[in-house]
Structure 1
Amino acid sequence: MMRRRIIGRFKRSKQDGWEGEIHTLTIQRKVRLVPSDNRVTDSDPAFRVMMGWQAIGDAWERQSRTEPPRDYLRVLIDDPLCPISAALFPDPEGISAQLVMTFGEPCRPQRKQRDHQARNLGDGRR
C-alpha cells in the first residue's frame, strides 16, 4: 500500500529557488533549493538541495500526467540511512510548496543519482 506524507513546506526565495524545512525521522533541517548554475542538458538537475553551504541532493523539473498537467520538482536527497525521493508541488500561485514523500516502497540507494554525482565530481566512477 502506497501512502503519501508531507515532509516539508517551502516558500519561494529571492534567488528564484525555494527555502523551507524538511521533517523526517533522520532530517529536521532548514534547506534551500538553489538553481543550478552549471546545467548543460535537460537531464542535469535544475536545482541543488543545500543545507547551509553543503549540497545534500538534487532536484529535476517534471510535469505530471494529470489533466491539466502540473509542474513539480522531483527531489532526491542523500541521507546516510535511506535516500529520500520526494516531489515538491507548488501551489497554483507558485508562492509556496509542499514536499511530499511516498511511503510503502523498500528503501534502496539511488544508483542513478550517485552515478550522476560521481561524474560531476570527476572521480571516474560510473
Structure 2
Amino acid sequence: MATIGTFTKTENGYNGSIETLSLKANKVSLVPAEKSGDKGPDYRVKSGNAEIGAAWAQTSKKGGKPYLSVKIDDPSFVAAIYANLVEQDGKHALIWSR
C-alpha cells in the first residue's frame, strides 16, 4: 500500500493533492455529488475545473470505520486508479494498493 495523496476535511468535502510517478495534482477537491440513485457516487473528484473521478462512502468491515472508495481516471491513464481515503491522525490519506 502506498499513500498517493493527502487531504483535509472541509465544510464542503475534502481538499488536498495527489502525487504519483505520472500524476501530480496540487489542487484536488472531493465535492458532494447530487445522488442519482443508490449506486451513484457520494462525491465528485475534481482537479481545477476538470472532473477526474468519483468517490463512494463506505464502512470498513473491521472496526466499522468510515472511509471513501475513490476512482480516479484520465484519458492519459492506462487504467483507472482505485484508492481509499482514510482518516489517519486527524488528516486524510489517499491509500492505493494493487
Tell me the TM-score normalized by structure 2: 0.88
Corresponding position: 1:73 with 2:52? no
Corresponding position: 1:58 with 2:31? no
Equivalent residues, number: 95
Shift of 1:71: 0.6
Q: How does 1:29-68 map to 2 (within 5 A)?
A: 29-30=25-26, 31-36=28-33, 38-66=34-62, 68=63
Q: Deviations over 1:63-102 (max 9, x none)?
A: 1110x2111000000132231100000237xx52000000
Unmatched segments (≥5 aa) in structure 2: none
The alpha-carbon distance between structure 1 residues 7 and 69, as it changes in their structure 2 partners (threshold 3 A), is same
- Where relative contact order (Cα < 8 A, 6+ residues apart) is larger, the structure is 2
* Structure whose residues are more often strand by fraction: 2
Q: How does 1:1-126 map to 2 (within 5 A)?
A: 4-15=1-12, 17-30=13-26, 31-36=28-33, 38-66=34-62, 68-79=63-74, 80-81=76-77, 82-91=79-88, 95-103=90-98
Secondary structure of the corresponding residue to residue 97 of structure 2? strand
The 4+ residue runs of structure 1 with deviation greater than 6 A are none
In structure 1, distance between residues paired with 2:94 and 2:21:
15
Identity %: 34
* Structure whose residues are more often helix by fraction: 1
In structure 2, distance between residues paired with 1:9 and 1:40:
28
RMSD of Structure 2 on Structure 1 (CA): 1.4
Q: Which has the larger radius of gyration?
A: 1
In structure 1, distance between residues paired with 2:35 and 2:19:
28
